[in-house]
Amino acid sequence: MENVIIIGTGPAGYTAAIYAARAELKPVILTGDQPGGQLTTTSEVENFPGFPDGIMGPELMNKMQAQAERFGTRVEFGIMVTNVEKNDDGTFAVHTKPVFADAVTVMQTKTVIVASGATARYLGIEGEEQYIGGRGLTACAVCDGAFFKGVPVAVIGGGDSACEEADFLTKYASKVYLVHRRDELRASKIMAKRVMEHPKIEMVWNSQLAGYKEAENGNINAIVLDNTVDGSTSDLPVEGVFMAIGHTPNTSFLSTDLMDLDPSGYAIPVPGKTATKTPGIFVAGDVADTVYRQGITAAGLGCAAALEAEKFLSGH
């Protein structure tokens, strides 16, 4: 019987682990199929406090892992959670399986911290992965916008995220193309007005991203667009592509008997807490965050979840 099982190894999970380990709870953390989480897919992180010269995303996550292990966290690599069940005595059975095998193992625990994150959606175009993380394709303007100073970029999507990213990128890029598959934005009126009136943003309506073109160094230097109305195809020269077609929260292993989920699948904690409707289950980070989605906010919530879990355990 474990004290606390932490699901997910992004900033929320590792911060929860550091706090739980220092409280001598001997936490176990399960990495899933992406050890280190979303920050491992970005290049340099310039906005995480404490690193005035920036730090590479994977290196930051390695440091968090080392810090968690230093205090006695057990890291289980390549372990996916397939289900969480509540036992009759209020403890939990966490069903797990290795990423590359089918053998199911059931772990018992007194508390669970769900920090399984969200996955930015990409289009799934063939060869797309090779451009993610430093070759021009990203899903986070706040993280990577500063690498595109003085060059044209494209944002893909028509929602609030796309508008927010486009607006943010005008600080750096020479020009921002907002590429949307329809001729009307889904975003709120105020966001839509802001981008459409911005002198550095050009709307590219009725266009679906269909492919990437690369320079000799392998970085993106243009995108291929299919016109969704007349079927024509054209190239748009850009050096950065910011995908803003939504995120998918990683909650498929959670039953709504234990965790409230919003219509998009995001976990809903008790207001102002990381506790959930099930005593003993806590939630932290992007899996419950549709607003901030930053490493540092996730880390802060991971800390809160561990403190709440510790208090819960000492009260039981």
Residues of this chain that interact with ligand NAP (CB under 6 A) are 123, 157-162, 164, 181-182, 186, 208, 244-246, 290
Of the two residues 95 and 194, which places its CB atom closer to ligand NAP in the complex?
194
Of the two residues 244 and 301, which places its CB atom closer to ligand NAP in the complex?
244
Of 158, 177, 159, 181, nearest to 229 (Cα)? 181
Least separation, in Å, of the C-beta of 163 and ligand NAP?
8
Of the two residues 3 and 206, which places its CB atom closer to ligand NAP in the complex?
206
**Strand bridging mode 260-261 / 267-268:** antiparallel
Q: Which residue's Cβ has the minimum distance to ligand NAP?
A: 159
286 catalytically annotated: no
Least separation, in Å, of the C-beta of 315 and ligand NAP?
35
d(CA 7, CA 245): 25
140 catalytically annotated: yes
How buried is residue 177: exposed, middle or buried, by Cβ count under 10 Å (0-12/13-18/19+)?
buried
Task: Map residue 17 onto helix, strand or coil.
Answer: helix
How large is the greatest C-alpha to C-alpha distance in the chain, in angstroms? 65
Q: Extract the tokens encoding 43.
A: 């290049």
Choosing from 33, 53, 89, 143, which is the catalytic residue? 143
144 catalytically annotated: yes
Half-sphere CA count of 246, side-chain side, radius 13 A: 11
**Number of helical (H) and strand (E) elements in the chain, helices listed first:** 6, 21
Least separation, in Å, of the C-beta of 243 and ligand NAP?
9
Choosing from 140, 167, 286, 303, which is the catalytic residue? 140
Least separation, in Å, of the C-beta of 196 and ligand NAP?
14
Of the two residues 132 and 245, which places its CB atom closer to ligand NAP in the complex?
245
∠ Cα 106 266 113 (to 5°)? 40
Task: Map residue 119 onto helix, strand or coil.
Answer: strand
Least separation, in Å, of the C-beta of 291 and ligand NAP?
7
Choosing from 88, 144, 226, 260, which is the catalytic residue? 144
Of the two residues 114 and 245, which places its CB atom closer to ligand NAP in the complex?
245
Active site residues: 140, 143-144
